Amino acid sequence: MKYRPTTCVWEITEGCNLRCRSCGLFRSDALPDQLNSAEAFDLIDQIVELDLRGVTLSGGEPLTRKDWSNLVKCLTDRGVACNMITNGWSITNDVAKQMKKNLISTVFISIDGTKEVHDRIRKPGSYNRIEQGIKILKQESINVGAVTTLSKQNINLLPQIKDELIRMDVALWHVQLSLPVEFTHHHEYHLLDPEDIISILDFCHNTNKEGKIAISPTDCIGYYSNKELRTNPSTFNTIDHQLWDGCKAGIHSFGILYNGDIVGCTSFRNREYIEGNIRERTLRDIWEDNNHFLWRRNMSKDKLSGECGVCGYGSKCLGGCPYIRFSMDNTIYGENRYCIQNIGMKKFKEEIAKKNDTDEIFADAKNAEKNKDYQRMAMLIDRYLQLDDSNVAEVWRMKGFADFQNGNYSMSEEANIQALNINSNDINAKKCLALAIFRQGKEIEGMKLLAEVAQIGDQDAIDKLEELKYGSMYRRRKYLNY
């Protein structure tokens, strides 16, 4: 199997007992085409067969589905960990006991503010219900997490919500952005601005440093700031997994809608993102179909626009959360303006747009090169070239090198060719050109060019050529005799 699924979010019903202002996912009653119990149990067989590690039950409100407890039991009996996200309205002693008996892993309760704001967003009385619900769950020693959906209405309340959660003895807290969802028309007034990401990450960082509650910004909040790296407790201290490495939808996770529709992520629920329905095909069949989840499986950096398309993290990050990009620009190929890197890049560009002294800009670019800050180096050289359409080979060599380091290989190729047009003896430009060509998949062409530099005795080129040879030995065996 090319892509191995490990988790899924299953919206077991669209029925809900609340009408939260931010949410489009509610109907007072379950929809008639909701999977019935027999279909749901059959689906669990298929989840087990696919060897998933965990399932998060959500909705609508999962606790409004009469057989929720049996679904939890069926999953955990078969060795699949089961979490739940609930509005907490219906947590009684009996519900908690069933959760405990059926070995639920963690119950995440949504909390959207202090009492007044939470009740305003959700329903009067719901804050008291979650407080009571958390107490009951804790009495049963069930793991409790909290989820806060951040908007203009509650971002300033983060410190108070934190104190409340600590008072309620909640140890784990996820924060996510409120995003425009289908059916909601009131979202404009409460969506956060991109710059708010900075204060959210600062808050998360400081909260985790305090150590009283573990806060975790979810996949829609990032990316690649030092604070974020030190903030995410789930990845804390695990060097290999420190960096966000792209959205998992359709790669390691998927979503199941109330009626058995399969999607890469439950945020994407338009017809065009529905990959199939388990009433028509098996889960495995849908997952393993090479024509499915292509919006995610075929995503690459070069398809992204704006700063994401040239970002040094782009190949790994692929623009962060696709739903943010989609909800902002109606295309998954838009740029992610809710990203701390993106904000930083734009700010830096604005700063250097005010600079007109090419010597100063060149010196700053050299400094950035020395500090291995290739993103800034590229932006500085681009500014230089806006002011002076340079015929200095070194400027183009630097552009070629910075673009290469940022993974922008075709741009690097062009810049290195410019450098070599000005000075055909520029060895560094030639080496970088060879590597940029190689990285674009023209491996033989790249190696031949590198071999030309190696032939004149450049040790670095000799070493790099060896690296490329061994790295691509298996792929190239057909074409070259080593």
Ligand X SMILES: C[S@@+](CC[C@H](N)C(=O)[O-])C[C@H]1O[C@@H](n2cnc3c(N)ncnc32)[C@H](O)[C@@H]1O
255 binds, among ligand SF4, ligand X, none (CB under 5 to 8 A by kind): none
Site residues (CB under 6 A) for ligand SF4, limited to 210-239: 223-224
Least spacing, CB of residue 118 vs ligand X, in Å: 10
Largest distance between two CA atoms of the chain: 80
**Calpha distance 73→8 (Å, rounded):** 17
Per-position x/- string for 59-88, each x denoting binding to ligand X as judged by CB under 6 A, each - no binding: x-x-----------------------xxx-
Least spacing, CB of residue 237 vs ligand X, in Å: 27
- Report if residue 321 touches ligand X, rule: CB under 6 A: no
# residues contacting ligand X (CB under 6 A): 18
- Report if residue 147 touches ligand X, rule: CB under 6 A: yes
- Report if residue 149 touches ligand X, rule: CB under 6 A: yes
Q: Using CA atoms in the order 152, 153, 158, 161, what is the torsion angle rounded to 10 degrees?
A: -160
**Calpha distance 162→381 (Å, rounded):** 44
Least spacing, CB of residue 424 vs ligand SF4, in Å: 35
- Report if residue 57 touches ligand X, rule: CB under 6 A: no
**Quick one: which segment of 34-42, 132-140, 174-182, 293-301 binds ligand X (CB under 6 A)?**
174-182
Per-position x/- string for 1-30, each x denoting binding to ligand SF4 as judged by CB under 6 A, each - no binding: ---------------x-xxx--x-xx----
Smallest CA-to-CA distance from 443 within 467, 417, 423 is with 467
**Calpha distance 196→179 (Å, rounded):** 14
Task: Supply φ then ψ for residue 57, to 5 degrees.
Answer: -85, 130
- Report if residue 58 touches ligand X, rule: CB under 6 A: yes
Q: Which residues contact 49 (CB under 8 A, 6 or more apart)?
A: 283, 284
Least spacing, CB of residue 265 vs ligand X, in Å: 12
**Binding residue (CB under 6 A) for ligand X from 110, 208, 232, 390:** 110
CB 94 within 8 A of CB 48: no
Site residues (CB under 6 A) for ligand SF4, limited to 61-90: 61, 87
- Report if residue 109 touches ligand SF4, rule: CB under 6 A: no
In residues, how long is the chain?
Answer: 482
DSSP helix/strand/coil, 223 = coil
179 binds, among ligand X, ligand SF4, none (CB under 5 to 8 A by kind): ligand X
**Calpha distance 473→481 (Å, rounded):** 10
CB 44 within 8 A of CB 34: no
# residues contacting ligand SF4 (CB under 6 A): 25
Look-up of token digits 């065996």: 477
CB-CB neighbours of 436 under 10 Å: 26
Q: CB-wise, 330 or 481, nearer to ligand X? A: 330
| Cα angle for residues 8, 11, 13 (degrees, 5° grid) | 160
Smallest CA-to-CA distance from 420 within 452, 375, 457 is with 452
CB 127 within 8 A of CB 118: yes
The helix (run of H) or strand (run of E) holding residue 177 is strand 172-177
CB-CB neighbours of 323 under 10 Å: 22
- Report if residue 23 touches ligand X, rule: CB under 6 A: yes
Q: CB-wise, 180 or 309, nearer to ligand X? A: 180
342 binds, among ligand X, ligand SF4, none (CB under 5 to 8 A by kind): ligand SF4
- Report if residue 403 touches ligand SF4, rule: CB under 6 A: no
Per-position x/- string for 181-220, each x denoting binding to ligand X as judged by CB under 6 A, each - no binding: x---------------------------------------
> Residue 132 has which token pair?
């009571």
Least spacing, CB of residue 204 vs ligand SF4, in Å: 17
Smallest CA-to-CA distance from 145 within 117, 171, 118 is with 171
Per-position x/- string for 292-321, each x denoting binding to ligand SF4 as judged by CB under 6 A, each - no binding: ---------------xx--x-xx--x-xx-
- The residue type of 433 is L
Q: CB-wise, 207 or 342, nearer to ligand SF4? A: 342
Strand partners for 176: 149
**Quick one: which segment of 14-22, 242-250, 268-276, 376-384 binds ligand X (CB under 6 A)?**
14-22
181 binds, among ligand X, ligand SF4, none (CB under 5 to 8 A by kind): ligand X
**Calpha distance 13→23 (Å, rounded):** 14
Site residues (CB under 6 A) for ligand SF4, limited to 335-354: 336, 339, 341-342
347 binds, among ligand SF4, ligand X, none (CB under 5 to 8 A by kind): none
DSSP helix/strand/coil, 31 = coil
- The residue type of 301 is K
Name the residues that contact ligand SF4, by CB under 6 A: 16, 18-20, 23, 25-26, 59-61, 87, 223-224, 307-308, 311, 313-314, 317, 319-320, 336, 339, 341-342
Where on the chain is the footprint of ligand X (CB under 6 A)? 16, 20, 22-23, 25, 58-59, 61, 85-87, 110, 147, 149, 176, 178-179, 181
